[in-house]
Amino acid sequence: MKIRMVSATPMALRLKEPFSIANETVDIGENVFLKIETDEDITGWGCATPDSVTSETKETVINCFNNVIKDILVGEDPLRVNFINDLIEEKVNGNPSLRAGVNMALYDILGKKANLPLYKLLGGYKDKIETSVTIGLNPTDTMVERAKGFVNRGFKCLKVKCGMDADQDIEVVLAIRNAVGPDIKIRMDANEGYTLEKALRVIETLEKLGANIEILEQPTPAKYLYALKEVTSQCPVPIMADETALTLRDSLKAVKMEIADMINIKLMKIGGITNAIKANTFAEIAEIPVMIGCMNESMGAMAAGVHFACAFKNVKYADLDSALDFEQDIVKGGAHYENGFVIPSDKPGLGIEVNL
Do 78 and 157 fall within a single domain? no
Query: Which of 99, 115, 131 represents a domain boundary (last residue)?
Result: 115
Do 46 and 109 fall within a single domain? yes
Question: How far apart, in Å, do the first and last CA atoms of the chain sit?
Answer: 25
Distances (CA, A) of 276 to 13, 172, 205: 26, 34, 35
Structural domains counted in the chain: 2
- pLDDT value of position 110: 98
pLDDT digits (tens, 9 = 90+) for 28-53: 999 999 999 999 999 999 999 999 88
- Give the C-alpha separation, 213 to 203, whole Å: 8
Do 218 and 271 fall within a single domain? yes
Do 197 and 221 fall within a single domain? yes
Query: Which of 85, 100, 115 represents a domain boundary (last residue)?
Result: 115
* Residue 98 belongs to domain with CATH number: 3.30.390.10
pLDDT digits (tens, 9 = 90+) for 60-110: 999 999 999 999 999 999 999 999 999 999 999 899 999 999 999 999 999
Do 293 and 180 fall within a single domain? yes
Do 123 and 111 fall within a single domain? no
- pLDDT value of position 248: 94
Query: Which of 115, 150, 165 represents a domain boundary (last residue)?
Result: 115
* Residue 203 belongs to domain with CATH number: 3.20.20.120
Among 31-35, 244-248, 266-270, which is the least confidently predicted range? 244-248
3-state SS, residue 220: coil
pLDDT-derived band at 258, boundaries 50, 70, 90:
very high
Do 110 and 127 fall within a single domain? no
DSSP single-letter state for residue 195? -
- pLDDT value of position 20: 86
CB 21 within 8 A of CB 137: yes
Distances (CA, A) of 78 to 71, 117, 138, 211: 14, 17, 45, 49
- pLDDT value of position 25: 86
Distances (CA, A) of 95 to 60, 274, 348: 7, 15, 28
- Give the C-alpha separation, 96 to 4, whole Å: 24
- pLDDT value of position 24: 77
Q: What is the mean pLDDT of residues 16-20?
A: 89
Active site residues: 161, 266
Do 138 and 242 fall within a single domain? yes
- pLDDT value of position 21: 87
Do 104 and 135 fall within a single domain? no
- pLDDT value of position 190: 97
Q: In 181-288, where does DSSP find H-type helix?
A: 196-208, 225-234, 248-256, 267-270, 273-285
- pLDDT value of position 224: 93
User: From its phi and psi, is residue 246 left (phi > 0), alpha (psi between -120 and 50) or beta?
Assistant: alpha
Do 134 and 13 fall within a single domain? no
Q: CB within 8 A of 38, min separation 6: which ones?
A: 1, 2, 3, 4, 44, 78, 109
pLDDT-derived band at 236, boundaries 50, 70, 90:
very high
Q: CB within 8 A of 37, min separation 6: which ones?
A: 3, 4, 5, 6, 43
- pLDDT value of position 149: 97
Which residues span the domain enclosing 256? 119-354
Nearest to 191 by CA among 199, 180, 182: 199
pLDDT at position 152 over 90: yes
pLDDT-derived band at 260, boundaries 50, 70, 90:
very high
Q: What percent of the chain stands above pLDDT 70?
A: 100
- Give the C-alpha separation, 143 to 135, whole Å: 6
- pLDDT value of position 22: 76
pLDDT digits (tens, 9 = 90+) for 276-297: 999 999 999 999 999 999 999 9
pTM of the predicted model as reported, rounded to 2 decimal places: 0.96
Do 174 and 246 fall within a single domain? yes
- pLDDT value of position 123: 97
Q: What is the mean pLDDT of residues 14-30?
A: 88
Mean pLDDT of the chain: 96
- Give the C-alpha separation, 320 to 54, whole Å: 18
Q: What percent of the chain stands above pLDDT 90?
A: 96
pLDDT-derived band at 189, boundaries 50, 70, 90:
very high
Distances (CA, A) of 11 to 30, 37, 122, 263: 6, 20, 29, 30
Do 204 and 260 fall within a single domain? yes
Nearest to 293 by CA among 33, 105, 21: 21
pLDDT at position 301 over 90: yes
